[in-house]
Amino acid sequence: MYETYRVKGMHCASCAGIIERTLKKRPEVKSAEVNYGNETAKVSFNSTPLSINTLSDIVEPLGYSFESSDAAAMGMSENKHADHPGINQSKKEKLAEIADMRSKLISVIPLAIFSIFVMGWDILGQLNYVPSQSSVWKDFFHHILPLMATYTLFVVGKPYLLGIYRFIRYGKANMDTLIGIGTTVAYVYSFIIAAFEESLKQYINVEHSYYDVTIVVIAFITLGKCLEARSKIKTGDAIEKLLNLQAKTALVIRNGKEIEIPINEVIKGDQIILKPGAKVPVDGVVIEGISFIDESMLTGEPMPIEKKPGTNIAAGTINTTGTITFEAKKIGSETLLAHIIKMVEDAQGSKAPIQALADKISAVFVPIVLIIALVTFGAWMVLGTPVLGFSQSLSYGLTSFVGVLIIACPCALGLATPTAIIVGVGKGAKEGILIKNAETLEKLHKVDVVVVDKTGTITKGKPELVKIKNLSQQSDEDLVSILASLENRSEHPIASAISNYAKNKQIQIKTIEGFEIIKGKGLKAKIAGKEYFAGNMKLIDNLSIDFNDKEIIDETSKGRTPVILATSQNILGIFLVADAIKDMAVESIKKLHALKIKVVMLTGDNKQTADYIAKEAGIDEVIAEVMPEDKLKKIQSIQNEGHIVAMAGDGINDAPALAQADVGIAMGTGTDAAIETAGITLLNGDISKLVSSIKLSKMIMTGVKQNLFWAFIYNLAGIPLAAGLFFPFFGWLISPVFAGLAMAFSSFSVVSNSLRLKAKKL
Ligand code: ADP
Ligand code: MG
């Protein structure tokens, strides 16, 4: 088990690596995974978890702190009640941080524009496009620029100076360190040539200062960070929407009176009244009244669902017109909504395997870039001096040194994967598609075979008894009575078909004893001392009763499932059960085919029945009459053929097969356990959502790859360009000012590309 924390103070992708490595050095910490995308840390411990304060103390010298996660703040990680803060805390703080950044940005932008103007005039003047700066102007600029640069570096650029401090004090360097060194070197050099102008005059061009570089680079980087932070907030708004689904109060009956109480005072067993239009405060079961409830916010299903006594309702859904009373069954961290929030939060903070390379690169990036920058400077001095002279080489060398440090920031690299994953997981949650982690999303986009369960996935899962073939001396009614008595105890969908039939016909249920489920075959029990069996052909084969399956072939080839009722000697009757194909199934399978995905149906049901259903639904391959324990082996054998398999099932008796598949997809709310074990949970159990989830994964992974490509290209091309590698051939050398601009927009463009995915249709 791990704990999730919110991390404050991260400003770049390499921060995540620094925190991870620092935490892992502690013996108590088993593993640590820090995500720059949503600024969380997942930490697991060898024994008792370290307190949040201790953790915070560990990372504090490096400039970070730990806080409890949003879900934990709501009491959803611990066994507390949900205390709804309305809007998540991290967002409030982020907004304050952005406001602060923006006011600094506003102060520095006029300075940057002024510096660019001076710079431009200088260059254009030297090229004789405009009259050169007169000595009065030069003098003015000479005095005003240092003042402006001092403000920019020490006020707006403070985080970068702290980066240098931490580098010197603790030996930890992050992106802030690089920017800090770059801008400080430019500043200090300019200061020195001004202070020792007289004595340096004979060696170097003292006219050329770099105060403008300090100002413009810091302004651009602040601009970039502002844009990045603003878009990053938007990537994570799915959690906020989910948090806002939580009701704040509940109308309960206490001592015979209706009173409104805060949500965290609700206890299990409370009777809660739900008025028209009200939000369901906790999970429960309806005890009185009938109404339709809008569950679209959880399941993505647009039609309100009928609720009557006995049906479950979930916190966060909204009542339509009726009034109902229900009993609170699950509160606080136990509700489905709480599970969903926790899961989305975890998934958004998880790392996709594709990110590993980017992480490795960011981890070693800072020291390597420092070395590259120093080597670049050295190369300019050694190789440049004989050709260009000392003064000019020093000037180019410094330009390159600062340029490399600025352009090399792999911020975009660190944002490429997480931002797309955050958007994807959030988008999924909105559609009722719960994704366990980023790894699942990455695997899902490679799936080429989808294995589905027949009952409940392809068919409605609500079979009906359509025909009785009586092979005994007793009346139909007597047979139904026997069978219904047996089936009454079973949970199989077939059982409810029989039970419902008996209930509608008001056929009496007998007491049974020695009830036993015969896995994958049916069941048996005794009534008045006589043993009965009910199930499929395999069960009858076991009993070694002579039985010609010609009797059923006509029916099974029409897609009906036979339930054979027998004693140990005789067949009493055959009950034919039919389960209609889901409306969406045929269309969804066509869509899967369009995605070049093969669909295999796996079922314990009769071969002919399964074949018929498969043909109707357009399924490519049928594996029928499989025992539950063999489902896993079937999945394995498909995998051994080199396929990547997703398996969709109800998650109850299919758990091992779901676990074996590369991606296990649980259909329907099922149990909490099913949600936690499956890679993907489709809350409304609709096969069309299965198609959506595959499309979503493909879309997100395309976004991730685009982001990674651009981030890599940017760094790969940027460093040699800034270092002046192309200078001897083409005369190319970019000013640190442009390095700053490129660096600001690389992160922004990556985050924007991820945000773009939000608007795309599934
Ligand atoms: P599936 O979920 O694909 O139906 P199961 O292993 O649950 O697979 O069941 C396999 C077969 O066993 C069913 O198709 C049915 O023929 C028979 N069976 C299982 N449970 C019952 C039951 N309660 N009553 C009658 N037949 C049953
Ligand atoms: Mg089943």
Length of the chain: 762
Q: How far, rounded to the nearest angstrom, does the alpha carbon of residue 432 sit from its chain's CA centroid?
A: 13
Q: Report the nearest-CA residue for atom 12 of ligand 1.
A: 521
Cα separation, 600 vs 626, whole angstroms: 13
Is ligand 1 within 6 A of the CB of residue 560? no
- Interval 669-696 mean pLDDT: 81
Is ligand 1 within 6 A of the CB of residue 603? yes
Which numbered atom of ligand 1 lies nearest the CA of 521? Answer: 12
Q: How far, rounded to the nearest angstrom, does the alpha carbon of residue 341 sit from its chain's CA centroid?
A: 11
- Interval 123-131 mean pLDDT: 86
What is the structure's pLDDT at 748? Answer: 86
Q: Which ligand is nearest to the CA of 627?
A: 1
What is the structure's pLDDT at 187? Answer: 94
> 329-368, pLDDT tens digit by residue?
999 888 888 888 888 888 888 888 888 887 777 777 888 8
What is the structure's pLDDT at 77? Answer: 38
Q: Give 268: exposed, middle or buried? Use CB within 10 Å, 0-12, 13-18, 19+.
A: middle
Q: Which ligand is nearest to the CA of 491?
A: 1
> 667-681, pLDDT tens digit by residue?
875 555 566 678 999
Does 200 score more than 70 pLDDT?
A: yes
Mean pLDDT of the chain, nearest integer = 88
Tell me 623's DSSP state.
E
CA–centroid distance, residue 506 to ligand 1 (Å): 25
Is ligand 1 within 6 A of the CB of residue 13? no
> 215-224, pLDDT tens digit by residue?
998 998 888 8
What is the structure's pLDDT at 226? Answer: 87
Q: Which of 480, 482, 488, 521 to mutate to test the pocket of ligand 1 (most atoms within 8 A of CB)?
A: 521
Q: Which ligand is nearest to the CA of 494?
A: 1
* Entry pTM: 0.82
Cβ-based neighbour number of residue 761 at 10 Å: 6
Q: Is 428 helix (H, G, I), strand (E, B) or coil?
A: helix
**Is 453 a residue of the active site?**
yes
Is ligand 1 within 6 A of the CB of residue 492? yes
Is ligand 1 within 6 A of the CB of residue 562? no
- Give the pair of three-digit tokens for residue 453: 């369960």
Is ligand 1 within 6 A of the CB of residue 487? yes
Q: Which residues are CB-neighbours of 254 under 8 A, at least 6 positions away?
A: 261, 270
Q: Give 546: exposed, middle or buried? Use CB within 10 Å, 0-12, 13-18, 19+.
A: exposed
- Give the pair of three-digit tokens for residue 489: 């105890």
CA–centroid distance, residue 597 to ligand 2 (Å): 23
Answer for the pair 402, 736: CB distance below 8 angstroms, yes or no. yes
Is ligand 1 within 6 A of the CB of residue 522? yes
What is the structure's pLDDT at 379? Answer: 94
Q: Nearest 5 degrees, angle CA 226-CA 229-CA 231?
A: 110
CA–centroid distance, residue 110 to ligand 1 (Å): 75
> 250-259, pLDDT tens digit by residue?
999 998 899 9
Q: Which of 492, 552, 561, 629 to mutate to test the pocket of ligand 1 (most atoms within 8 A of CB)?
A: 492
Q: Report the nearest-CA residue for atom 16 of ligand 1.
A: 536
Does 86 score more than 60 pLDDT?
A: no
Is ligand 1 within 6 A of the CB of residue 613? no
CA–centroid distance, residue 654 to ligand 2 (Å): 7
CA–centroid distance, residue 578 to ligand 2 (Å): 15
> 381-412, pLDDT tens digit by residue?
999 999 888 888 998 999 899 999 888 877 78
Does 235 score more than 50 pLDDT?
A: yes
- Give the pair of three-digit tokens for residue 266: 């609700």
Q: Which ligand is nearest to the CA of 523?
A: 1
Phi, then psi, of 88 in degrees rounded to 5: -70, 145
Place of tokens 């053929």: 641
Cβ-based neighbour number of residue 97 at 10 Å: 16
Q: Report the nearest-CA residue for atom 19 of ligand 1.
A: 522
> 164-179, pLDDT tens digit by residue?
998 898 888 877 888 8
**Which of 421-425, 463-467, 682-686 has the least mean pLDDT?**
682-686
Per the residue annotation, which of 270, 359, 453, 654 is the catalytic one?
453
Does 654 score more than 90 pLDDT?
A: no
Crossing angle (nearest 10°) for helices 583-594 and 687-723: 30
Place of tokens 């190369």: 379
Is ligand 1 within 6 A of the CB of residue 651? no
CA–centroid distance, residue 578 to ligand 1 (Å): 13
Cα separation, 286 vs 274, whole angstroms: 10
Does 193 score more than 70 pLDDT?
A: yes
What is the structure's pLDDT at 17? Answer: 84
Is ligand 1 within 6 A of the CB of residue 499? no
Is ligand 1 within 6 A of the CB of residue 495? yes
- List residues, by chain if needed, whose CB lies under 5 Å from ion ligand 2: 653
CA–centroid distance, residue 451 to ligand 2 (Å): 13
Is ligand 1 within 6 A of the CB of residue 490? yes
Q: Which ligand is nearest to the CA of 579?
A: 1
Q: Which of 483, 488, 494 to mutate to test the pocket of ligand 1 (most atoms within 8 A of CB)?
A: 494
